[in-house]
Amino acid sequence: MEQKTIPIAEPLLGQKEIDYVTECIKTNWISSKGEYVTKFEQQFSKYCQTNYGVAVANGTVALHLALLALDIKKGDEVIIPDFTFAATINSILYTGATPVLVDVEQNTGNIDINKIKEKITSKTKAIMPVHIYGHPCKIDEIKDLCVSRNLFLIEDCAEAHGAEYKKKKVGSFSDIACFSFFGNKIITTGEGGMCITNNKELAEKMRVLKDHGMSKNKRYWHEIIGYNYRLTNIQAAIGVAQLENIDKFIEIRRRNAKQYNSLLQDINGITLQKEEKYARHVYWMYSILLNENTRLSRAELMQKLKSAGIDTREFFYPIHVMPPYKQFAVEKYPVTDYISQKGMNLPSSSRLSKDDISYICEKIKEIMK
Ligand SMILES: Cc1ncc(COP(=O)(O)O)c(C=O)c1O
């Protein structure tokens, strides 16, 4: 029998994506003007229970654009989790502002609200939590803190499309929320991103900034220095088609997580992630932690799974250990250190079948025995 290969993530594309992209090509609307861009902005922002969407070239520039629109610059401080993908901290560094790292909670990997408070100074301008791997943060508590301390809230929702905190969509709590539509995300446009907001002025400012700072009323007149952060109509066409299936994708991911949980729960040496009561986890990545003193190391387990055709991923490294960011380590980050060493993601795409998950779990059981 041919060996299975199961990737950690892959897009799920269909006929609608082909039809909408074909329409862009047939009508010649392939660049960043065109009706799919507007449709995608309107439909995605509405899906996230917000009023305005500004489509951009990727999730990293979405974060940068949000920071620029809120006038965050050198001398300002922005609070972020130590456990995240590098784009979160890079976007702050692009503005010249100083990132302030905070440790995370063990179960969710999300920023620890109790540790945020002690990091707020007179220079703090914003808090930028990340809904890591698709599990929402305690976002209303973070929002209350921002309101009481007069700070901006920027949600990094790159990994959490459609996730909910107390039945409300992530991205709807903040001044600006940022999404990625990279190929491995819950919905994708290949590369792509979006900023969403309820604030009309911020949306308009972001539209100008993403288009070279060009006035919306006077063509080729530039009042400010902007960027070319535009998304193309072709990419947006894929996004509109993907959005038609987002709830189905999330249902598949939640069903898969349930199956993983039931098949892995009795395996010695593994800790499963619990979905917190307030959360609707969308499982961008299904994650497990290896316990202390297991017979096999994480690297060995990953290698053996790879030999069985199963792709896995270790958790992100702590931000504070990597060369460009070491300078921002001002204390110990024990939880990030721990989960980063012990955590791994299992295949998580919306294409996975029940048989795939049974096969993966069987292999893990066999290897861990
Ligand atoms: C938490 C987080 N923020 C930001 C980004 C950046 O998104 P992009 O890759 O679209 O630039 C990612 C991408 O994976 C991410 O995981």
Whether 345 has a pLDDT exceeding 90, the answer reads yes
Summarize the confidence of residues 240-254 as an average pLDDT.
98
Q: Provide φ and ψ at 209, rounded to 5°.
A: -60, -35
Cβ pair 150, 95 in contact under 8 A: no
CA-based nearest residue to 174, from 211, 137, 207, 210? 137
Q: Give CATH for domain 15-103+111-243.
A: 3.40.640.10
Q: Could you tell me which residues come within 8 angstroms of residue 273 by beta carbon, excluding any fewer than 6 positions away?
A: 107, 108, 135, 281, 287, 288, 289
Mean pLDDT for the stretch of residues 228-243: 98
d(CA 121, CA 97): 14
Give the residue whose CA is nearest to atom 7 of ligand 1: 59
pLDDT in tens, 261-295: 999 999 999 999 999 999 999 999 999 999 998 88
Average pLDDT over residues 189-209: 98
Ligand 1 pocket member 158 (CB < 6 A)? yes
pLDDT at residue 336, as a whole number: 98
Tokens of 246: 């987002």
Quote the percentage of the chain above a pLDDT of 90: 97
Q: Once rounded to an integer, what is the mean pLDDT over residues 291-311?
A: 95
How far is ligand 1, taken at its centre, from the CA of residue 133, in Å? 11
Pocket test for ligand 1, best of 56, 58, 60, 83 (most atoms within 8 A of CB): 60
What CATH architecture is 246-368? Alpha-Beta Complex (3.90)
Atom of ligand 1 minimally distant from the CA of 87: 4
Mean pLDDT of the chain: 97
Phi/psi for 286 (5° steps) reads: -80, 130
Residue 249 pLDDT level (bands cut at 50, 70, 90): very high
- pTM of the full structure: 0.98
Strand, helix or coil for residue 104: strand
* Beta bridge pairs of residue 93: none
Q: Tens digits of per-residue pLDDT, 127-148?
A: 999 999 999 999 999 999 999 9
pLDDT digits (tens, 9 = 90+) for 161-185: 999 999 999 999 999 999 999 999 9
Q: What is the pLDDT of residue 126?
A: 98
Domain boundary assignment for the chain? 15-103+111-243, 246-368
d(CA 331, CA 328): 9
CA of 243 to the centre of ligand 1 (A): 19
Q: pLDDT of 97-132, one tens digit each? A: 999 999 999 999 999 999 999 999 999 999 999 999
Phi, psi of 102 (to 5 degrees): -130, 140
Radius of gyration from C-alpha coordinates of the chain? 21
Q: Locate tokens 């969407």: which residue? A: 53
Angle at 292 between CA 288 and CA 294, to 5 degrees: 85
For ligand 1, what atom is nearest to the CA of residue 88? 3
Whether residue 87 has its Cβ less than 6 Å from ligand 1: yes
Residue 13 has pLDDT above 70, yes or no: yes
User: Sorting pLDDT into bands at 50, 70 and 90, what band is 4?
Assistant: confident
- Does residue 159 have its Cβ closer than 6 Å to ligand 1? yes
84 lines ligand 1 (CB under 6 A): yes
Q: Tell which phi-psi region holds residue 325, choosing left (phi > 0), alpha (psi between -120 and 50) or beta.
A: alpha
Task: Kindly provide the residue ranges of all beta strands, DSSP E only, lying in the chain, ordered along the sequence.
Answer: 52-56, 77-81, 98-102, 124-127, 152-156, 164-165, 168-169, 176-180, 193-197, 270-272, 279-280, 286-290, 313-314, 343-346
Residues 175/201, Cβ–Cβ less than 8 Å: no
CA dihedral for 91, 183, 350, 319, sign (positive or negative): negative
Please check whether residue 222 is in contact with residue 210, taking contact to mean a CB–CB distance below 8 angstroms. no
Residue 333: band (very low, low, confident or very high) from pLDDT cuts 50, 70, 90: very high
Q: Looking at this protein, which amino acid is placed at residue 357?
A: I
**Residue pLDDT, tens place only, 347-367:** 999 999 999 999 999 999 999
Q: Of the candidates 295, 302, 293, 290, which has an alpha carbon nearest to the alpha carbon of residue 340?
A: 290
Number of neighbours of residue 183 by Cβ within 10 angstroms: 14
C-alpha 194: how far from chain center: 11
Q: Indicate if ligand 1 lies below 6 Å from the C-beta of 59.
A: yes
Pocket test for ligand 1, best of 180, 188, 315, 317 (most atoms within 8 A of CB): 180
Q: How far is the CA of 60 from the centre of ligand 1 (A)?
A: 6
159 CA closest ligand 1 atom index: 16
DSSP, res 30: -
130 lines ligand 1 (CB under 6 A): yes
pLDDT band with cut points at 50, 70 and 90 for residue 3:
confident
Q: Quick one: which atom of ligand 1 is closest to the CA of 192?
A: 10
Q: How much is the pLDDT for 1?
A: 60
Is residue 290 helix, strand or coil?
Answer: strand
Per-residue pLDDT reduced to its tens digit, 30-52: 999 999 999 999 999 999 999 99
Closest alpha carbon to 195 in 73, 80, 90, 59: 59
Q: How far is the CA of 85 from the centre of ligand 1 (A)?
A: 7
Q: Is 60 in the pocket of ligand 1 (CB under 6 A)?
A: yes
Same fold, 15-103+111-243 and 246-368: no
Q: For residue 198, which of 217, 227, 175, 221 has the smallest C-alpha distance?
A: 175
- pLDDT given for residue 85 in this prediction: 98
DSSP code of residue 117: G
